[in-house]
Amino acid sequence: MAITKGAGPALWGPLALYLSNRMVAIEHSSDSLSFRDFAGFRIRIARASSRYIRAGQEGLHPALVVFCHRYPSTLLKLKEVLEPFGPWGIWRFGPLEMGPIILISTSTLKYTPRNAWLKHMARIPSNGEDFMDFVELILSENALSLEAKGVLMEEIMSIGRQEGRISDERMEAFGKKVDEWIQRETEAIRREERLKFDNETRELVRALQAENAALRAENAALRAENEALKAEVAALKAEVAALRAKVAELQARLGE
C-alpha cells in the first residue's frame, strides 16, 4: 500500500477535485477483487480515519483508492454498497468526506488523455508498445519535474529489462527517445534560464535607471534650494548694506 498527499490533477484526472488535497492510500490488484478483499479495505480505511481523528486533524478524511485490472464483477453485486462515480470504470463506497473507498477498474475505464495516468496505475506494462506508451506519457507530463521523470523512466525500463518484457531493439529505441527528450528538455531549461536572466537583468537596469533618475531629480532639487538660499543671502547682504548706509548717514548728521 502506498500513501500520497498533494498529487496533482494530472495523476487523478477526473478524481482530482476529490483527491488532490487529502491523504490517499493506494492499493493495487491485477486480479478481480473478492468480498474478503473489500472487507480488508474497509478495515484499513476505518483505521486510517481513526488515526486521523485521534491526531486532531481537520478537513477531509483519508481516502482509499483501489486499482484493479480486471472488472470487479463480484463486488458489483453489492448494488447498495458500490455506486458509479465519474466515468464508467470507477465506483465509490462511503461518503466523500469520511474515508471513502474508490475502486478503479483500469481495463474498464475508457482511455482519454485525462484518464491516462489512471489507466497505467494497476499493472506493469506487458509489452514493448505498452512500455513506449508509458514512457511517452511520463515525458509529456508537465506536472512532473525533470528528476521525477528520470526516476520513473529508469524504474519502468529496469523492470522491462529484468522481466524480459522488452526487446533489446525496443530498449535501444527507448534510449534514443529518452536521449532526444533529455536534450530537448535541457535546451528548453537553458532557454528559460537565459530568458529569466535577461528579464531579471532588464528589471535591474530599469530599477537602476529609475533610482538614477530619482537621484538626479533630488540633486536638481538640492541645487534649486541652494540657489534660493544664495538669493536669500544676497538679499540679506543688500539689506545689511542699506542699514549700514542709513547708520552712516545718521552719524554724519549728528556730527554736524
**3-state helix/strand/coil string of 123-191:** CCCCCHHHHHHHHHHHHHCCCCCHHHHHHHHHHHHHHHHHCCCCCHHHHHHHHHHHHHHHHHHHHHHHH
Q: What does the pLDDT read at residue 70?
A: 83
- Taking the CA atoms of 40, 44, 45 and 46 in sequence, report the sign of the dihedral they define: positive
Q: Euclidean distance between the first and final Cα of the chain, in Å?
A: 122
pLDDT value at residue 91: 92
Q: What is the SS3 assignment for 23-83?
A: EEEEEEECCCCCHHHHHHHHHHHHHHHHHHHHCCCCCCCCEEEEEECCCCCCHHHCCCCCE
Half-sphere exposure of residue 243: CA atoms within 13 angstroms, side-chain side: 6
In the DSSP assignment, the letter for residue 111 is P
Strand order in the sheet with 101-105: 2-5, 23-29, 63-68, 101-105, 90-93, 83-84
**Is the model's pTM score more than 0.75?**
no
pLDDT beneath 50, residues of the chain:
1-3, 6
Report whether 86 contacts 47 (CB < 8 A): no
Q: What is the Cα–Cα distance from 109 to 187, expressed in whole angstroms?
A: 37
So where are the chain's domains?
1-123
Q: What is the DSSP letter of 15?
A: G
Task: Determine the pLDDT at residue 102.
Answer: 92
Please say whether the beta carbons of 6 and 21 come within 8 A.
yes
- d(Cα 237, Cα 242) in Å, to the nearest integer? 9
Q: Give 23's strand partners.
A: 5
Residue 71 has a pLDDT of: 87
